[in-house]
Amino acid sequence: MLNPKSQIQNPKSKTPKGKIIFLVGPTASGKTEAALHLAKKIGAEIISCDSMQIYRKLDILTSKPKKSACKNIPYHLIDIIDPEKEYNVSDYRKEALKKIKTIIKKDKIPLFVGGTGLYMSALIDGIFEGPMQNEKIRKKLFKQVEQMGSQYLFKQLQKKDPQAAVKIHPHDTKRIIRALEVFALSGRPISALQKERKGLADEYEIKIFCLNLPREKLYRRIEERLEKMFSLGLLEEVKRLLKLKLSRTAAFAIGIRELAGYFDGLYDLEQAKDLIKRNTRRYAKRQLTWFRKDKRITWINLIGNETPKEIAYKIN
């Protein structure tokens, strides 16, 4: 790690266009609270790197930062789209690039905070200019998932694009379908097209820090946070969301399907909570698996009893 007098404290780094910081980690690791202290310390504005916090009305469900906590530190790209509308990584990248330019013009550091590895990768490494989505192909692939499961499509991907299959989780249906769609439309593997892309790493100095907690401490935090979410009104929030025609992405927010089963009388509330806890733990594992593959990351190993301010001061 850097010492307290490192360039992280200076928005004007040795690179021509400045420095960009990423603070990532699994869900419930304390990123948001630590980021607010870090932003104050280094002179930064925060940009959310969370694929669910972009949606309005998913406040409790996605543990968005409180508005009162963001009074002194600008926090961008939360609550920017209604949950009925589709939103993808390309949309996010365009919005984030605009925010970066605006923040750097103010001699501030863009500080990305969140746990969506795909968003981080799209920014740092870029995204390829692949073919537009084809609804006919996508519907066919989604139908295959429903009938035969994601493993069936993943085996197809392993045959058509083994390099992409190494990087995509066998249960990451969305990315598997996109890779197969690109192959069908272009005749070229998505892994080959991705090598032609350019991202922030080509223009800026990038530093990535990932919070890492002992697994038992992380799981305890996940359970404690869920209980707090219920006390804040999670049931009522999800009940309102289920009345909407949610976009495909928004509908995947952990908690929606699990509580829909409870509302439909399939199981009791305690069983619903157990499902949410289990699926959140699994999500945290997937996040950590993603980040561990990126050798550019500096890991911030925590005991689990550090305050947000203490965590921020470990990132120096």
Residue 9: predicted pLDDT: 47
Which domain, by its residues, includes 70? 1-127+198-316
CATH number at residue 153: 1.10.20.140
Please tell me what DSSP assigns to residue 96: H
- Out of 194, 218, 242, a domain closes at 194
Residue 8: predicted pLDDT: 54
Instruction: Give the chain's domain count.
Output: 2
Residue 132: predicted pLDDT: 78
238-241, Cβ contacts within 8 angstroms, sequence gap of 24 or more: 238/61, 239/263, 240/57, 241/57, 241/58, 241/61, 241/83
Residue 69: predicted pLDDT: 77
DSSP tally for the chain: helices H, then strands E: 13, 6
Same domain, residue pair 238 and 265: yes
User: Residue 272 class from Cβ within 10 Å (0-12 exposed, 13-18 middle, 19+ buried)?
Assistant: buried
Same domain, residue pair 166 and 19: no
How many other CB atoms are there within 10 angstroms of residue 86's CB atom? 11
Q: Do 29 and 220 form a contact (C-beta atoms < 8 A)?
A: no
pLDDT profile of the chain (316 residues), mean per 10: 43 59 98 96 97 97 88 94 95 97 96 97 86 87 91 93 91 90 89 82 95 97 97 98 96 97 98 98 97 96 96 90
Q: What gap in Å lies between CA 158 and CA 154, rounded to an integer? A: 6
Same domain, residue pair 140 and 254: no
Task: Name the residue with tokens 């970066």.
Answer: 100
Q: What gap in Å lies between CA 176 and CA 180, rounded to an integer? A: 6
- Out of 146, 172, 194, a domain closes at 194
H/E run at residue 301: strand 297-301
- 3-state class (DSSP) for residue 74: coil
